Amino acid sequence: MDLIQANKDILSKITRALDNPDTRTRGQQILLFESSEQDFGISILETHEILKPVAITRLPNVEPEILGMINLRGNIIPVIDLGRKFFSKYTRITPLCRIIICHQNESHYSGFLVDRIGRVVTLEDDGNEWPEVGDYSGGYFRGVGRNSGRVYLMLDLSVLLSRQ
């Protein structure tokens, strides 16, 4: 499967989940992605869209993980480099890099630059194996999930975005 088809499949799953009123009751669907060789996940209900990297307008005097702003169909969206945020190293732009646009609230969005998009998985209600991870990580994570033998950290976007 080529990269374009893989991205279309992921976006199709996100759209189906957003249109399905039972999504929250039958296990949460999680978008998996990689940043600085670490696997992460976020709820697809918090995901608006996925973009290839675009030109970013730099901002002076901001935290180093805030790369700048993009203009997405008339909306100004801040872009955060998760590699820089969590591992103190900037993400190198490659053909697999993406910007995940997430809902901050009804009218505000934020973008996250990541190394690559994985796939959408369903996290069963008891799939959050270590919710206490938030106590050790400054609250940035909701817990730890597992899929296909890999462990991923589930981002708590409300905490991450409130601290930017």
**pLDDT computed for residue 122 by the predictor:** 86
Higher pLDDT, 163 or 21: 163
**150 compared with 16, residue with greater pLDDT:** 150
pLDDT for residue 47: 93
Contact 56, 79 (CB under 8 A): yes
pLDDT at 23 over 50: no
Q: What domains can be seen in the chain, in order of their start residue? A: 3-162 (2.40.50.180)
Q: Are strands 75-81 and 109-114 parallel, antiparallel or unpaired?
A: parallel
Higher pLDDT, 101 or 136: 101
Burial of 58: CB neighbours in 10 Å, binned 0-12, 13-18, 19+ = exposed
96 vs 50: CA distance, rounded Å = 12
DSSP state of 45: G
Q: What is the pLDDT of residues 38-89, one digit of tens each?
A: 999 999 999 999 999 999 999 999 999 999 999 999 999 999 999 999 999 9
pLDDT digits (tens, 9 = 90+) for 126-145: 556 666 666 777 788 888 88
Choose among 46, 51, 73, 56: nearest CA to 160: 46
pTM (2 d.p.): 0.79
